[in-house]
Structure 1
Amino acid sequence: MNLFEKLYDEHEKVKVRFVGFTTKDARYDFGIVYTNMFFGKPLVICMQTGRSALLDPKDIEDHESLQRIFRIDTIEQAADLAEFFKDTLPSFAPLEAAQYE
C-alpha cells in the first residue's frame, strides 16, 4: 500500500549564493538558491532564523510581508532588506540556471 502520492521528485544543478551584509540597524546572512523550479522564483533562506521564502520582484515590494517572513523588527529594516533584494534577485522569471554560472 502506498501511503504517499509523489507530487514531484526533481534533480537539478543549481547556483547558490551566500551573502552577509549589515545596515545601520541590523546584520543579515542569506543563502539564495537560483532554480528553475517554482516558476523561477529564487529560494531565499535567512541563515540566522532558518526562515525561507520564494521571492520575486513583486514579492519584495511588500515590506510588511518581508518583515513577517524574516522576523524583522521594524518596517524600516524591511525596506532596507527590500532594497538589497532589488539589487540581488533577478527581475524576470522563469530563470535559466545557465544565467548564473
Structure 2
Amino acid sequence: MDLFDKLYDEDETVKVRFVGFTTEHVRYDFGIVFTNMFFGKPLVVCMQTGRSALLDATDLKNTDSIQKAFNIQSKKEAEELSSFFEESIPFSPIAEQYD
C-alpha cells in the first residue's frame, strides 16, 4: 500500500521537563521536550490545551507568535510567558536537520 512517502521514522531517548506555574491571572502547565529533531528546537506543549510549538531563543523574542501559538489573550501574559521560556530554554544553534 503506497498511500504515502515516509519522510522519517526515528526513535530517540529525550529529556522532558514538566513545569507548572502561575502568573497574576493564569496557571500554566507545560511539557518541554528537548530533542535533536526539528533543528534542535525544543517542543513546548501546553498540558491544559494540547497546543504546542517548536521554540528556540530567537522565537521567544516574537511575543506575537507566542501569543498566537498558545492562544494567550493579553500581550502582557505573552511577554511573561516568553520571559519564563527565556530562562527555561537554553540557546543552541540551529542544527542541520536534513543533510
Q: Is the TM value for this pair above 0.5? A: yes
1:82 and 2:74 are equivalent in the alignment = no
Shift in Å, 1:4: 1.0
1:7 and 2:4 are equivalent in the alignment = no
Identify unmatched segments of 5+ residues in structure 2.
none
Identical aligned residues as a percent: 60
What letter corresponds to residue 9 of structure 1 in structure 2?
D
Aligned residues: 95
Q: For 1:5-84, what aligned pairs fall within 5 Å after superposition? A: 5-84=5-84
What letter corresponds to residue 67 of structure 1 in structure 2?
Q
Shift in Å, 1:93: 3.0
User: Which deviations, in whole Å up to 9, do the C-alpha atoms of 1:52-80 show, x marking residues without a partner?
Assistant: 00000110111111111101110000000
SS in 1 for 2:87: helix
Identify unmatched segments of 5+ residues in structure 1.
96-101
State the distance in 1 between where 2:5 and 2:90 align.
33
4+ residue segments displaced more than 4 Å: none
State the distance in 2 between where 1:31 and 1:20 align.
9
What letter corresponds to residue 13 of structure 2 in structure 1?
K
What letter corresponds to residue 85 of structure 1 in structure 2?
F
SS in 1 for 2:77: helix
TM-score when normalising by structure 2 = 0.91
Contact 1:36-1:94 within 8 A present in 2 as well: no
